[in-house]
Structure 1
Amino acid sequence: MNSKRTSLELYQTHRASLLSYAARLSGDHTVAEDIVQDVWLLFSRQQVEMIAAPLNYLRTMVRHLVITRMRRLGREGTLGTDFETATAAIIDGQVSPEENVASREAMKRIVDAIAAMPDPRQRQAIHMYHFEGMKLREIAAHLGLSLTRVHGLIEDGMVICDRVRKEGQ
């Protein structure tokens, strides 16, 4: 019996229990369907003969994919929202005028904070790194500083910029 047939038979035999397990973990039957389908796509490429406990392997794959999906949804801020609500702001790819003004104001505060930094090398390093896209090595060579010093200047400057950004919220 070839491995493709074996993996398919194993998947078909345990699909219902995997769906139930995924639904219990995710709290959503539709998500569970997607997860189990993804598990099949990944599992079908495996050599089943090399896996000591294939059912446990499948369950572990389900658990990991559910956790990954929940983390991603949490980061995106869409966890617990319905599809229409989650996609309402991104349908046309446009931000609201209020969000646009707020972003511009935040950027102006950050640019002003960079301009007000007392060390001209720090201002230059941040500008070259974040606005010109230069690499740390290039900045170090241009400013005649060590790589460590350039990294420290940028890191300290970003702490200031982050504080300014948070104050404006």
Structure 2
Amino acid sequence: MSAEEFQAHRERLVAIAARVLGNRTDAEDVVQEAWLRLARQEPGSVDNVAGWLTTVVGRLSIDVLRARTAKGEVLYDTHPVVAEDDDPADQALQAESLGLALLVVLGSLGPDERLAFVLHDMFAMPFSEIGAIIDKSADAAKMAASRARRKVHGAARPTARPHQQRQVVDAFLAAARDGDFEALLTVLDPDLTWEVKGARDVTVTRGRAELVRAVVRGGGLGFTARRVLVDGQPGILAWGPAGHPVGLMACTVEDGRMTRVVSYTDRARLNTAVSMLRSRGGDTSSRGSA
């Protein structure tokens, strides 16, 4: 396999490893090691390259987790998990499976539980394939994921119900599309916290004025956006005029208004977000944009 062919799988592999390990640096190392092992294989000896790479990345991730346990290490990152937000029947599972609080809960799981949960609940991998990765039967893999899910069930919940959160985010998108300054003020809390995470720095702004100005300015430049799930809660993925993702927003909704917005603008997180949508069969275009 050429390096170019491997790149087609790379972001998905990094996304998997990052959620299992909670740290993108370690995830990058694991994926690089998987590439080196693949490069040593005889040409044509691997029938299912995607499956082979997922297996290797999964097993290497388990090795890293076990090494951490032996050393008493816990490493977490804040790369958001992104998924589609257009299937009401799947909302409970997604909200239960995702979120920054989940990282803390994942740290209490055994390596097999953690990998089984991430691969199945976040990346929709069947238990028959997961069992092969953790050297257990499909039923044992299912039980490991179930145990993990019960522990995750106690993770922190947002104060607003999912449909209420979506309504607020949709109202924000509609106001942004129409350039309705007053409507934007209505949906944003006066004491809003807006945190922007770039590749190397983080800026925090209090109040809603700066965000409103940025949204209105973006609309004038031809930016489009639509709702997605970000860490289990409704958020927004935005595209520039050329069709490339330019921003991801995680929105906290309380009492009918956005009280906190975390924006991710660096290319690594945006690439990972798009990769996560693709891995779950999602649409990575700006269809239905506001």
TM over 0.5: no
Higher relative contact order (CA 8 A, sep 6+): 2
Q: TM-score, normalised by structure 2?
A: 0.25
Q: TM-score, normalised by structure 1?
A: 0.42
Structure with greater proportional strand content: 2
Structure with greater proportional helix content: 1
